[in-house]
Amino acid sequence: MKIGIVCYPTFGGSGVVATELGKALADHGHQVHFITYSQPARLDFFSENLFYHEVTVSNYPLFDYPPYELALASRLVDVVRYEQLDILHVHYAIPHASAAYMAKQILASEGLNIPVVTTLHGTDITLVGKDMTYKPVVTFSINQSDGVTAVSANLKSDTCKYFEIQNEIRVIPNFIDLSRFSHRAKDHFKKAIAPNGEKIVVHTSNFRKVKRVQDVVRVFAAINERVPSKLLLAGDGPERTHIEQLCRELNLKDDVRFLGKLDAVEEILSVSDLFLLPSETESFGLAALEAMACKVPVVSSNAGGIPELNVEGVTGFLNDVGDIEGMAKNAIYILEDEARLKEFKERALNRAKEFDISIIMPVYESYYHEVIARSRAKLSV
Ligand code: GMT
């Protein structure tokens, strides 16, 4: 198959999922074309089946807001036409689903049929998408897609709750390339972070409000009173200065390390003992899956699709959003007993294995075949 993939080429979860899926499909013999405004972060090597087409947005003094969506639609028309793609798979509805719809219509006027699959990732529905600023276009473009997938059952039900959806939504969970995450913990690294054998607590995110990183710091403060520990914060984003300020106020400066954006997050995860994810809303929680793949149990909120991944009392614990005391209590329970911690770690890894890319990639592959067949059948009536 010749597959076009559209995504945000950033460190965000949807971009990571799109890139890893594209790489796996290419390894499986498909020709994969990424169409994005810059090289996706994890696509920094050569493969004969991988292609990259940059979307350039030309500016003009009249534009306060350069029309990215039009530039993307035009590029999609160009790549589909020239490369004769079989299917377009767009990740994150805004503005990718509507750009794909526009490209599809232009191509249809030339007699070309390009089936479009839209994968809903999270805030494209739960936060940004349901806002009236975008809602009519998001609703329309989801309904016009030839196939729609959501990364969790919870996101599917939110989509049906907030939008009038006529299309069937297929749940295909996020995944992980376990081979990438099965690193041995680097002892020297662990020693440098926790020289006295302190437990290592970790959080990775884009530090947006929705992630509630302040809760991470407050939960850690309570853990630190009972269990000697260090907190690693990987990532960056708009809330960073507030979080730094809170660490100073709570006098945690010596026990909290800000690591910035990391390419090889698995190196940090593989030396960690506990992952904190107290998000306000989270359609899936890919960061938690990455941690579990490195044998790290998770204490999280019970928001959105997280309960479909983190299993209460098995791979970690789930508390209500904002229940700092409850999260701290559960974190201490896991960390204070060495044998118990070991059991949680084993079970976290076993759960992560259920989401290996070797299981999920073929699900997407057969979904593409189904969508292409359905779209062709529709044309012939
Ligand atoms: O929706 C977002 O906030 C952005 C998106 C991303 O691009 O990082 O994150 C969402 O998609 C991820 C990949 O499917 C999920 O693992 C995240 O849970 C989800 N984020 C939220 O729902 C807040």
| Residue to mutate, 6, 7, 11, 14, ligand 1, most ligand atoms under 8 Å from C-beta | 14
Residue 327 CA to residue 167 CA, distance in Å, equals: 38
pLDDT 10s digit of each residue in the chain, 381 long? 999 999 999 768 999 999 999 999 999 999 999 999 999 887 877 889 999 999 999 989 999 999 999 999 999 999 999 999 999 999 999 999 999 999 999 999 999 999 999 999 999 998 888 889 999 999 999 999 999 999 999 999 999 999 999 999 999 999 999 988 876 667 788 889 999 999 999 999 999 999 999 999 999 999 999 999 999 999 999 999 999 999 999 999 899 999 998 888 899 999 999 999 999 999 999 999 999 999 999 999 999 999 999 999 999 999 999 999 999 999 999 999 999 999 999 999 999 999 999 999 999 999 999 999 999 998 887
Distance 285 CA to ligand 1 centre (A): 7
* Nearest atom in ligand 1 to 279's CA: 23
> Which residue type, as a one-letter code, is found at position 176?
I
- Three-state DSSP at 256 gives strand
* Nearest atom in ligand 1 to 10's CA: 7
Distance 195 CA to ligand 1 centre (A): 34
The yes/no answer on whether domain 2-175+357-380 falls in CATH 2.40.30.10 is no
Residue 60 CA to residue 40 CA, distance in Å, equals: 26
Q: Which residues line ligand 1 (CB under 6 A)?
A: 8, 12-15, 17, 92, 121-123, 151, 174, 210, 281-286, 304
Distance 286 CA to ligand 1 centre (A): 8
Q: Where are the domains of the chain?
A: 2-175+357-380, 178-353
Chain centroid offset of residue 195 CA: 33
Diameter of the chain measured on Cα atoms: 71
Question: Please, what is the end-to-end C-alpha distance for the chain in angstroms?
Answer: 24
* Nearest atom in ligand 1 to 11's CA: 8
* Nearest atom in ligand 1 to 305's CA: 18
Would you identify the CATH topology of the domain 178-353?
Answer: Rossmann fold (3.40.50)
Show the tokens assigned to 107: 């191509």
pLDDT at 184: 67
Distance 11 CA to ligand 1 centre (A): 11
Distance 304 CA to ligand 1 centre (A): 11
Distance 325 CA to ligand 1 centre (A): 26
Residue 286 CA to residue 360 CA, distance in Å, equals: 14
> Which residue type, as a one-letter code, is found at position 37?
Y
Quickly tell me which residue has 């075949």 as its tokens: 369
Chain centroid offset of residue 266 CA: 15
- Three-state DSSP at 165 gives coil
pLDDT at 12: 80
Can 2-175+357-380 and 178-353 be said to share one CATH topology? yes
CB 281 within 8 A of CB 126: yes
> Which residue type, as a one-letter code, is found at position 156?
K
